[in-house]
Structure 1
Amino acid sequence: MPNPRSILNSFRSRHPRLEDGAGLSHQEFQRWQNGGGQFHKSACIDPTALIETGAIVHPKSVVGAYVHIGSGTVIGPSVTIGQLTKIGYNVALSNCSIGDSCVIHNGVCIGQDGFGFLVDEKGDIVKRPQLLDARVGNHVEIGANTCIDRGSWRDTVIGDHSKIDNLVQVGHNVVVGKSCMLCGQVGIAGSVTIGDYVTFGGRVAVRDHVSIVSKVRLAATSCVTKDIKEPGDYGGFPAVPIHEWRRQVASQSWASKKN
C-alpha cells in the first residue's frame, strides 16, 4: 500500500499552494462593481451576482446569475456556485460545487478536509490524503455553522432538495440522497450512504461505513450502528424498529418503578 504521507507530499508538489490561495499577488484581485467585494481576475462571475464588501472570490471560481454572497465569506479556488443561490455571512467554501437556488446560512464550512488519519509503522499518526470534493445539489438549504467535509475516496454528496439544520457534521465520502432532512446536531461519520426521503431527528448519530435505505425516519438521539435495509421508523441506541424501541423504553420504565 502506498505511503499516505508520500501521496500527500506528491500532490502538494504538483499543486503548490493551490487550495489556500497563498502566494497570490493582491494586484490580481479587483473590486466587484455590485457590492464592493473582492474577486480574482481569473474568476468567472455573472454580472448580476452581488458580492458584499468583505467577501472574496478566489481564482478560477464560477459564480452564477443572481448569486448573493454575504460579507466575510471566502469562495476558495475553483469553487462553482449555481444561479439564484444565497450565501450568508462568514461562510467558507473550498473544494466544492453548490447547485442552483440553494441557501447557505452564516458560518457554514463546505469542502474542508475530513478527519482521516492512520498509524504508520513507526507508531506516528499520519494524515490520509483528502483530495476530492463536496457536491451540493439544487434547492438545498444548509443551516448555520454546519460542516460538510470533502471526499477522500469518493466525493461527498448532498442530494437535491435536501434540508440540513444548524450545527450538523457530515463527514468525508458521505452520500445523502434527495429530499432528506437532517435536524440540529446530527453527526454522520465518514463513508455513510443515505437514500432518498430520509429524516434524522435532532442529535442522531451514524457510525462510519453504514448504509441507510430510502424512506427511513430516525427518532431524536438515536444512534445507527449497522445498515438499515428496510424503510420505516427507527429509534434507540443502537437504532431498532420503532415499535421494538418503544417496548424497550416501556420495559425499562416498568422495571424502574417496580424497583
Structure 2
Amino acid sequence: MAIHFKRFSNSIFNWKLTSDKFISLFTNSDVDETGRHEFLKWHKGGGMFHKSASIDPTAMIDFGAVVHSGSFVGENVHVGSGTVVGDNVTIGQSTKIGYNVALANCTIGDSCVIHHGVCIGQDGFGFFTDENGVMVKKPQALKAHIGDNVEIGANSCIDRGSWRDTMIGDHSKIDNLVQIAHNVVIGKCCILCGQVGIAGSVTMGDYVSLGGRVGVRDHVTIVSQVRLAAASCVTKDITKPGDYGGFPAVPIREWRRQVASRLQTLK
C-alpha cells in the first residue's frame, strides 16, 4: 500500500512540475503580454471584460462570460455564464441574458429577456454563383437591432443585415428554435411561435402572430394584424389583416374549405 501511495505522490509531483512549466510558458509569451491584460475581472459575478468596454456598476457579469471591446452594458443587466458579448455591442438596462448566448453586431433594448443559446448578429445566409460556377459569399456588414421588452426563446437565431439592418420591434415575443434571416423587419407586439422560419428581407407589420412551424419566403410583406395558423407557408404578400392558413397561405375560411374538400374526396 505504501509503495502505491509513493508512486501516486510522485506522479502528482511530476504533473505539478509539468503544469507549472506550461503555465509559465504562456505567462511569459508575447500573446499574454499584448492580449491577456486587456481583459479584467468584473467585480460583480466574476466574468471578464475588455478595459475599453463600458459597464454600469450595477450589472452582473457571471463567471465564464466575456464582454469584448467597445461594448456597452446598461444598469441592472445580467449576463449569464458562457455568454460572449462581442465588440461594440449595446445592451440596454434591466435586460437578462441567459447562458451560452452569442451577441455580435447588434443592439439589445431595455428590459429584454434573451434565453439560453440564442445567437444574434451573425452573418446571414447569402451567396451567389460567379462566372466560374463557384459559390461566393455576399457581404454581410450591417447590424441587428432588438427593441425594448423583447423576449427571445432558447436557441433562436437572428442574422445581421446586408442591405438594411435586421429589426425586431418593441414588445415582440419569439419562441424557441426560431430562425430570422438577414434584413428582416418585424414590427411591435408580434408573436413568433416555435420553429418559425423567416427568410431574408421579409417585412412584417405590428401585431402579427405566426403559429408553430410557419414559413415565410424571402422578400414577402405581411401587413399588421395578421394571424397565421401553424405549419402555414407564406409565398406572396399578405395585404389585408385577418387569419390565414395552409400552403400556400390563404384566408382561413378558404383553407378550411380546402381541407374539408380533401376529406370528402378521400371518403
State whether TM-score is above 0.5. Answer: yes
Superposed CA offset, 1:115-149 (max 9, x none): 00000111110000000000000000000000000
State the distance in 1 between where 2:259 and 2:37 align.
Answer: 64
Letter in 2 for 1:179: C
Letter in 2 for 1:201: G
Partner of 1:147: 157
Q: Secondary structure at the match of 1:254?
A: helix
Q: Secondary structure at the match of 2:107?
A: strand
| Bigger Cα Rg | 2
Q: Secondary structure at the match of 1:234?
A: strand
Partner of 1:91: 101
Q: 1:70 aligns with which of 52, 57, 80?
A: 80
Partner of 1:236: 246
State the distance in 1 between where 2:129 and 2:119 align.
Answer: 27
Letter in 2 for 1:231: P
| Percent of aligned pairs sharing the same letter | 74
Q: Secondary structure at the match of 1:233?
A: strand
More helix per residue = 2
1:221 has 2:231 as partner? yes
Unmatched runs of 5 consecutive residues or more in structure 2 = 1-33
Letter in 1 for 2:131: E
Cα deviation for residue 27 of structure 1 reads: 1.0
1:38 has 2:37 as partner? no
Q: 1:253 aligns with which of 249, 253, 263?
A: 263
Of structures 1 and 2, the one scoring higher in RCO (CA 8 A, sep 6+) is 1
State the distance in 2 between where 1:222 and 1:26 align.
Answer: 50
Cα deviation for residue 26 of structure 1 reads: 1.4
Q: 1:80 aligns with which of 63, 72, 90?
A: 90
Letter in 2 for 1:182: L
State the distance in 1 between where 2:39 and 2:172 align.
Answer: 34
Unmatched runs of 5 consecutive residues or more in structure 1 = 1-23
Letter in 2 for 1:217: R
TM, length-normalised to structure 1:
0.90
1:132 has 2:142 as partner? yes
Superposed CA offset, 1:193-251 (max 9, x none): 00000000000000000000000000000000000000000000000000000000000
Q: Secondary structure at the match of 1:202?
A: coil
State the distance in 2 between where 1:54 and 1:178 align.
Answer: 33
State the distance in 2 between where 1:40 and 1:139 align.
Answer: 27
Q: Which runs of 4 or more aligned residues in structure 1 lie more than 2 Å from their structure 2 counterparts after TM superposition?
A: none
Q: Secondary structure at the match of 1:97?
A: strand
TM, length-normalised to structure 2:
0.87
Q: Secondary structure at the match of 2:75?
A: coil
Cα deviation for residue 182 of structure 1 reads: 0.0
Cα deviation for residue 84 of structure 1 reads: 0.1
